Structure formats: C-alpha cells, structure tokens
Structure 1
Amino acid sequence: MAHAAWKWLVVAVGVGAGVLACSGDDDEGTDDPPGTGENEVRPGLGDDPGEPRGTPFTLPAGVTVSGTVFGADDLSSDCGNGVPGNGSGEYVQVCVPLRNSTGAPVQVVFPPGLVIVSASEGFQNGLLVERVVVTVPPTDNGSGGPPDGGTDPEAEVVPLFTYCLNESQNPNERGTPYRIGPVTSDAALQELLGLLADKRIDSEDDADVVQDAIYSITEGKGLTASDRDDIDDL
C-alpha cells in the first residue's frame, strides 16, 4: 500500500475557517441505508470518551520509543528526516522515534489495527490499516536517550500515516504529541481490516473509501452496503 501525501489539500481549504476537524466523504445526504449493526459504545472512538481498547503493542527487546511520538508537518507530511510515510492515512500522520540499544539492526512490525492515541485535547486518535515493517539500525550512544524528555537526536524516526478515529476532532499538526496505543480489539474494525488485507490504497479517493468506512463504524452503526461495495472495488 502506498504512502499518501494529500492532507495539505485539506489543510489549505480549511485555512481561515476556524477549527479544522477530520474530514472525508461520509454517507450524510445519500440514499445509502445505515449499517445494520448497533451504535455501540466504543471508548476512544467517535465521540465516546475513554481509552481505546485492544491488545498491548510490544516492541522487540532492545527497541524503545525514545521521546514523544509527534505529529508530522501538517503541510508537507514530513517528519524532518525526508523519509516517506508508511501507511495511507491522511489525518493522523505521526513520527515515532525509536532507539535500538542491541548493537545490531532489528526488524520492527507495526500491525494493522495499531491505534495512535492523542496526548492533547481536541486531536483525534489514529488507526493504522497496513502492516508496516521497518528495520531499525543500532543507535549511536545506545545507552543514551532524549534530553529533558524531548526528541532524541540519535533516534530512528519512523513516519506512520494513519486514519482518523474521531470525526469531530482535529487532524494532527506539526509537533502534536501522541503515544502508541493498543492493537484494536473492536470487532467491526477488525472486520474492516480483514476486508482491506489484500487491497491497494493508491490514491486520495482510495483513502477516502477507507476513511468513510471507519466513520461508518466509529460514528454510526457499522459498515454500509456502499462501504462494502467501494472496498470491494479497491
């Protein structure tokens, strides 16, 4: 699945319009019937308060998040190191600083369903829909760390581009603080991830299909017939 760099278009349109919330083509105003499930309480998703539920994510031995996970530049989608984004999400694009103290390269797998949790009020949580595999080289001065809790200058910064889980909240801005959350256990989101497993997301329109499907779950009663048809066409 390809990296997407289209969010600057959304930001540019929103300049001067006040608060910019997560966006995308939803089903409002269409003839598509709502999903057939129930509007469940989903902590940390949609407008439901609380921590997103799921299985804790664990990094390999010797690899740690070194400093704060932070928002990528909201215009260029860059993490400051020129590395292309991993993932196709438009609205929660974050930079994960990793320190590898093993002395040898380590492969790190970020699984589909990984939740990125906002550490600031008013900003949305994110969902990774792709399997991302990166190799983290050994970190110079492996016993060091970030100065005064800031960004670790020796860390390997991994860009993860994820999808919005809270339509009414704001997309990331440059430097917005986040943290790595769990791998979601939400059954409807897990079903969606299964439907996307063999699909390619190569354009803004493709990403909108995925984002709309997520909104059908987090803001409504589940995937609609149109969601399923559009996903099948990816």
Structure 2
Amino acid sequence: MAHAAWKWMAVAAAVGAAVLACGGDDDEGGTNNPPTGIDAGVNEVRPGLGDDPGEPLGTQFNLPTGVTVSGTVYGADDLTSDCGNGAPGNGSGVYVQVCVPLRNSTGGPVEVVFPPGLVIVSTSEGFQNGLLVERVVITVPPTPPGPGGPPDGGTDPDATVVPLFTYCLNESQNPNEKGTPYKLGPVTSDSALKELLQLLSGKRIDSPEDVDVVQEALYSITESKGLTAEDRAAINKL
C-alpha cells in the first residue's frame, strides 16, 4: 500500500485540480451558476464530511455482546499499511487505514460484522474521517483470561487487531499516519452515501484504478453536489 507522503500528494493533486475546475470567471464578468441537468444538485451541509464541521451522522454501530474495543483505534503504518500483527487489510480504501483492537470476553469465538457505511472518525485535528464500503466479517477468538486492557493507555497485547482500510471523507485533510488516533463512528445515514454504497453492492474493487473510481465518487458527494453521470458510468463498469 501507499506511503503517507504519496497519499498526501495524491490528495493535494486532486484538491488542486478541483480548485482549477471550479474557479469562476469573475474577472471577465462571468457567473458561477451551478450546472443544470442530470448533474445539478444541492451542496448540502454534511457534518463531519468534506469541510463541514461536526460529528458524522448515522445509526450507532454496536459490537456483539462480550466484544469491546480495547484501547484506541489507531492508524496503520503509513509505510507498510501494517497493524503490527501481519494481518491482511480488510477493505479497499487507501487514505484512512486503521487498526481496531478487540477483546472477546465470551470464552468462545465471536463473529463480528463491520457493515458498509461504517464511519471511522478521527479524534485528531487535521486528519480525515474514513468510510468502509465493503462488508467485513471477522471471527474474533476468545481473549486469554486476565485483567487485560491496554497498559498505560497503549495497545492491549492480548487484543485481536483488525485492520480496516477505508476511504477518505475529507479531501483537504491528512490521510492516516502510524498511530493516528481514531474511533469507531456510526453507520452513515447520509442519503447520498447510502446510494453510493448501493451502487457498489456486488462490485469488485480490485485495482488502484477501481479505488480511484470509488474515491472520486465519494469526493463528488463530500466536496461537491453529489454523484455525477461520469461517476455512475464509472461505477457501472466496476
């Protein structure tokens, strides 16, 4: 996966392109009227998305009984995309790759489902929130008995660490860095994001080009006025 510097360069390039594409003609008496037709939309206020402040909205995500987040959800290594345990990433996102430490106190294995639409919320200023677009199913083994918990606020050594690779919801902010603190947020209730997730249902995201299609579609929602005809055509080809 990508180095954080590479990820940030890609974001910066996209931001620059967006600025150029959206600039007005005020010096020549032009107007900044929104486009008409199929791509016209409303630039809604979406808390926690794009440049809109606040916590992302949605329904509460609950882990199964007996399974808890042990310590802080943290950014994966931005050089290797690794969470320190060699476990493969779950999800196709590039910009917000996080590690979720879970404890299972039930005494037996428990299946945990991370649904499409789960939001990963940065708890540090300047870092992107993430969106999981795939359904991720993990079997969490029982955690060895004992007091457990993270020592001195660090990583719980007995936790099962689940890597979740998610997409950026804030183009102008920074992608994750190693150890960046996050938390599990809600399952989004944003109607445009839910429509995108429905369009992606059953699609395969197998290449960097496919990832770009999804990320650009997300930016059309979070940074602009919604999915374009080009977004829909590109998604249809996945």
Q: One fold, TM greater than 0.5?
A: yes
Contact 1:24/1:212 (<8 A) preserved = no
Residue equivalent to 1:157? 161
Equivalent residues of 2:7, 2:175 under 8 A apart = no
In structure 1, the residue matched to 2:5 is: 11
Identity %: 73
Structure 1's unaligned 5+ residue stretches are 15-19
**Separation in 1, partners of 2:111, 2:165:** 19
**Aligned: 1:77 with 2:69:** no
The alignment status of 1:102 with 2:106, answered yes or no, reads yes
Q: What one-letter code is carried by the residue in structure 2 that aligns with 1:87?
A: G
Deviation per CA, 1:35-68: give whole Å up to 9, x if none.
Answer: 3221000000000000000000000000000000
Corresponding residue to 1:38 among 32, 35, 42: 42
Take 1:171 and 1:23, find their aligned partners in 2: how far apart are those partners? 11
Q: TM-score, normalised by structure 2?
A: 0.88
Q: Which residue of 2 aligns with 1:132?
A: 136
What is the total number of aligned residue pairs between the two structures?
A: 222
Computing the radius of gyration over CA atoms, which structure comes out larger, 1 or 2?
2
| TM-score of the pair, normalised by structure 1 | 0.89
Query: Cα distance, 1:147 vs. partner?
Result: 1.4
CA contact (8 A) 2:56 2:188 kept: yes
Q: How does 1:199-210 map to 2 (within 5 A)?
A: 199-210=203-214
Query: Which runs of 4 or more aligned residues in structure 1 lie more than 4 Å from their structure 2 counterparts after TM superposition?
Result: 23-27
* Residue equivalent to 1:52: 56
Q: Is the 8 A contact 1:25 1:212 kept in 2?
A: no
Partner secondary structure for residue 138 of structure 2: strand
Change over 3 Å in CA distance of 1:44–1:12 after alignment to 2: closer
- Letter matched to residue 44 of structure 2: E
Provide the C-alpha distance between the structure 2 equivalents of 1:186 and 1:58, rounded to a whole number of angstroms: 19
| Counterpart-to-counterpart distance in 2, 1:71 and 1:101 | 25
Residue of structure 2 in register with 1:195 after alignment:
199
Query: For 1:154-193, what aligned pairs fall within 5 Å after superposition?
Result: 154-193=158-197
Q: State the superposition RMSD in angstroms.
A: 2.0
Note the C-alpha offset of 1:11.
Answer: 2.4
Higher relative contact order by CA 8 Å / sep ≥ 6: 1 or 2?
1
Deviation of the 1:145 alpha carbon: 1.2
> Are the equivalent residues in 2 in contact too, given 1:117–1:126 (CA < 8 A)?
yes
- Contact 1:72/1:78 (8 A) holds in 2: yes
What stretches of structure 2 of length at least 5 have no aligned partner? 23-34
Please say if 1:22 is aligned against 2:11: yes
